[in-house]
Structure 1
Amino acid sequence: MTVHVIGAGVAGLAAALALVRGGQRVALHEAAPVAGGRCRALPDGTDNGTHALLGANRAALRFLVQIGAREGWVEPEPGGLPVLDLENGSARRVALSPLGWGDAARRPEGVTLGSLLALLRLALPGPDRSVADAFAHHPKLLRALVEPLTVAALNTPVGEASARRLGAVLRRLGGKGAARLLVARQGLGPDLVAPALATLACHGANLRTGSRLRGLVQEGGRVTGLDLGEAVQPIGPADAVVLALPPWEAVRLLPDLPVPTRHAPILNVHFNRLEEGPVRFLGLLGGLAQWVLVRPSGVSVTVSAADDSVGLNDSEAAARIWPEVREAALRFGLPGDWPVESPPARAVRERRATPRHGLNPPPAPPRRPLPNLALAGDWTLAALPATIEAAIRSGEAAAAALLSAQARQAVAA
């Protein structure tokens, strides 16, 4: 059996790896010039965004081990996340896990018995409501912890973000080590995408870039061909397909699929700054910048749920964000030169970065809408927000569905 994986983002890479580890031949097709999807590296080597993992992301960490890339992901702030509040000037290290809040110095502002109960209720099953409504009586904790976590994990403003979906995130953060923050030491290209492709190549998987799927040829309720523009790739009776595509592409090919139709943007700004020093990760409150990733090769800033800022041009974004970054760097004593004037910068805009994780989401699509076709993609999992973890889990689920179907067919034969 040959499985054609359409899309070489993280979901497609995870599906391909699970399939080759299951003994299948894999052909990987990617419409873009490079693999990685929203986790791709840009032509200048920088990442398209400031991506991080948590210790709770077990599927993602397992994937990194499988591709030999785990050591490339480091914990930049083991003592707690440095957070600067630009409105009141307070600077402190905050423990991301409630297990660390016994130390008052690492406790977020607004932690009270009532706000802790509100967090607990969020993690329990119940009727859905917005995150803002769930913490209406606890505005300090909402601002200091819950809102930053919501926009980072759900990429949706708290006024519309689903408390139930955020609760699914919180339930995964309770265990020991679950809230450890990890980032790629060099970047997503060398520390995620490149080792995944190298591992797949060792298993004989082929990657073809610039290969956009125009349409699916179907007969008898099965996929029999892939229209790749120049030619139609036949899909034999024993072959299969994984569609690891964003929802708008998946529904173009399979018009009856239930897919999310509303999306939220992310703005990323990358500053050129060559400076030796350790990898650092900072949080900001009360400004435009939210997360600051400092590497020797440059400074990357992420603005999630960026409805009001994704339209800024590069110079406007840099002019607003650099003073915030500089103030945080100086307050936390980051080494090197932090000039008043912004260094050269470029902005990367993902206008449809993730679905909007609001109330009453569309139902999850079937994992196998056709007998020889499985879906992958972070948007296909109803229980998790659209993250690297969800992308990998979805790819593994798509591979497992096809491998299970093949095993059943072998038994029946």
Structure 2
Amino acid sequence: MTVHVVGAGVAGLAAALALVRGGRRVALHEAAPVAGGRARALPDGTDNGTHALLGANRAALRFLGQIGAREGWVEPEPAGLPVLDLETGTARRVALSPLGWGDANRRPEGVTLGSLLALLRLALPGPDRSVAAAFAGHPRLLRALVEPLTVAALNTPVAEASARLLGAVLRRLGGRGAARLFVARQGLGPDLVAPALATLACHGANLRTGSRLRSVTQEAGRATALDFGEAVLVLGPEDAVVLAVPPWEAARLLPGLPVPQRHAPILNLHFERVEEGPVRFIGLLGGLAQWVLVRPGGVSVTVSAADAAVGLTDAAAAARIWPELRQAALRFGLPGPWPEAPPPARAVRERRATPRHGLNPPPPPPRRPLANLVLAGDWTMPMLPATLESAVRSGEAAAAALSRASRPVPA
């Protein structure tokens, strides 16, 4: 019996790991030249964006532990997130968890009794509304904390982002250690994708890249063959499939499958810079850039919910963003020269980075649309933001669904 995992992004890797750990034989198929999906590294080893995990992302952190990669993830700002307000010039360290707001020096601007009650109301049942509407009476907290968290977690502008979904995110940040921020020391390629593939190889799983699934043959509610163009794999009665592909690919392969129709872009900009020093992570308010990740090998900047910015040329994006991050670097005393002229930079545009997390998220697609085929991918869990955490959770859920399907039915 073989389980064919189609798509070697994080969801597919998580599904494959859960399956091999459960004793299943796994074959991985990836259309791209390399594994990793949206988390894959660029040809020079640079990440596509500034990916981070929080202590609340227990599934993703557990996955890192299972593949022996946990030590590669460091906590760059244990004393609180450095945030520079480019409009006012105010620089401060902000605690991401409300448990740290007892210290006035680490409290976001705009925290009042009324704004705290507005945060608490997100956890209560009721009709969904936009994040902007939920905090219309608290503009300072919206700008200083809620909007940055919304675009980072939901990749959707606050005017349309679901307050109910943001509430699900904030509830997870209340526990002790839940708001600790971690980033990959070298990048997602060496600190996530490579160790995952090495672990899977140790369990006998094989990976075939450059292999795009053309179609799925169905008969009597089952997948009976996978057409990869150069080869058609006929599925035996005990074989199964995990389809861990983007929603538009899933809809192509399984016509009629309900999938998200609207997506939000992300613009990432990578500046060449070689300077020894610790890994740093900085937030920016009031500019184009939102998050700055500084590693010895370069500086990466992310613009989430980038509807207006994704069309900028590389040169135009660099000209706007470099002065912003340079100001933050100098203000927080980051080592090394920070010249006025921007160094060479490259933009990575993810035009369909995530589904748009608007009001009243749609119901999830069926986890098992065919008797021997299950779905994985962050988009299959609309009650969670499309992140590394939801990708891992979806892969584990897919593996669990196959395990349940294979159990004998009691007499």
Q: Which amino acid aligns with 1:299?
A: V
Cα distance in 2 for partners of 1:46, 1:123 equals 38
Cα distance in 2 for partners of 1:391, 1:205 equals 20
- Match for residue 211 of structure 1? 211
Alignment of 1:177-256 (within 5 A): 177-256=177-256
User: Deviations along 1:141-193, whole A, 9 cap, x unmatched?
Assistant: 00000000000000000000000010010111000000000000000000000
Cα distance in 1 for partners of 2:375, 2:320 equals 40
- Match for residue 25 of structure 1? 25
Q: Which amino acid aligns with 1:202?
A: C
Structure 2 unaligned blocks of 5 or more: none
Q: Which amino acid aligns with 1:361?
A: P
SS in structure 1 of the partner of residue 223 of structure 2: strand
Structure 1 position 383, deviation (Å): 1.6
- Match for residue 276 of structure 1? 276
Q: Which shows bigger deviation, 249-258 or 138-147? A: 249-258
Cα distance in 2 for partners of 1:249, 1:408 equals 32
Structure 1 position 198, deviation (Å): 0.2
User: Deviations along 1:242-278, whole A, 9 cap, x unmatched?
Assistant: 0001100001111111110000000000000000000
User: Deviations along 1:282-311, whole A, 9 cap, x unmatched?
Assistant: 000000000000000000000000000000
Matched, 1:7 2:12: no
Q: Which amino acid aligns with 2:129?
A: R
SS in structure 1 of the partner of residue 250 of structure 2: helix
Q: Which amino acid aligns with 2:151?
A: V
Cα distance in 2 for partners of 1:137, 1:220 equals 56
Structure 1 position 37, deviation (Å): 0.6
Structure 1 position 404, deviation (Å): 1.3
- Match for residue 345 of structure 2? 345
Cα distance in 1 for partners of 2:337, 2:40 equals 29
Contact map agreement 1:29 1:209 (CA 8 A) in 2: yes
Structure 1 position 360, deviation (Å): 2.7
SS in structure 2 of the partner of residue 126 of structure 1: coil
SS in structure 2 of the partner of residue 301 of structure 1: strand
- Match for residue 398 of structure 1? 398
Contact map agreement 2:242 2:374 (CA 8 A) in 1: yes
Structure 1 position 230, deviation (Å): 1.2
Structure 1 position 117, deviation (Å): 0.2
SS in structure 1 of the partner of residue 124 of structure 2: coil
Matched, 1:363 2:363: yes
Contact map agreement 1:64 1:70 (CA 8 A) in 2: yes
Cα distance in 2 for partners of 1:68, 1:367 equals 29
Alignment of 1:294-305 (within 5 A): 294-305=294-305
Contact map agreement 2:361 2:383 (CA 8 A) in 1: no
- Match for residue 58 of structure 1? 58
TM-score, normalised to structure 1, is 0.99
User: Deviations along 1:294-350, whole A, 9 cap, x unmatched?
Assistant: 000000000000000000111111110000010000000001111100001000000
Q: Which amino acid aligns with 1:401?
A: A
Structure 1 position 219, deviation (Å): 1.2
Q: How many residues get paired? A: 411
> Once superposed, what is the RMSD of the aligned Cα atoms?
0.7
Structure 1 position 124, deviation (Å): 2.2
Q: Which amino acid aligns with 2:376?
A: A
Contact map agreement 1:288 1:303 (CA 8 A) in 2: yes
SS in structure 1 of the partner of residue 408 of structure 2: helix
Cα distance in 2 for partners of 1:125, 1:22 equals 38
Contact map agreement 1:30 1:209 (CA 8 A) in 2: yes
Q: Which shows bigger deviation, 357-366 or 197-206? A: 357-366
Contact map agreement 1:260 1:361 (CA 8 A) in 2: no
Structure 1 position 362, deviation (Å): 2.3
Cα distance in 2 for partners of 1:2, 1:372 equals 11
Contact map agreement 1:5 1:12 (CA 8 A) in 2: yes
Runs of 4+ with deviation above 3 angstroms: none
SS in structure 2 of the partner of residue 408 of structure 1: coil
Alignment of 1:28-177 (within 5 A): 28-177=28-177
Cα distance in 1 for partners of 2:208, 2:114 equals 55
Cα distance in 2 for partners of 1:51, 1:105 equals 27
Cα distance in 1 for partners of 2:140, 2:282 equals 20
Q: Which amino acid aligns with 1:248?
A: W
Contact map agreement 2:280 2:293 (CA 8 A) in 1: yes
Percent identical pairs in the alignment equals: 85
User: Deviations along 1:22-80, whole A, 9 cap, x unmatched?
Assistant: 10000000000011011010001100011000000000000000000000000000000
Q: Which amino acid aligns with 1:182?
A: F
- Match for residue 313 of structure 1? 313
Matched, 1:331 2:349: no
Cα distance in 2 for partners of 1:102, 1:118 equals 18
Cα distance in 2 for partners of 1:216, 1:171 equals 40
Cα distance in 2 for partners of 1:125, 1:63 equals 32
Q: Which amino acid aligns with 1:3?
A: V
Cα distance in 2 for partners of 1:173, 1:360 equals 22
Structure 1 position 361, deviation (Å): 2.5
Matched, 1:387 2:387: yes
TM-score, normalised to structure 2, is 0.99
Contact map agreement 1:258 1:362 (CA 8 A) in 2: no
Structure 1 unaligned blocks of 5 or more: none
Structure 1 position 407, deviation (Å): 1.7
Cα distance in 1 for partners of 2:259, 2:19 equals 25
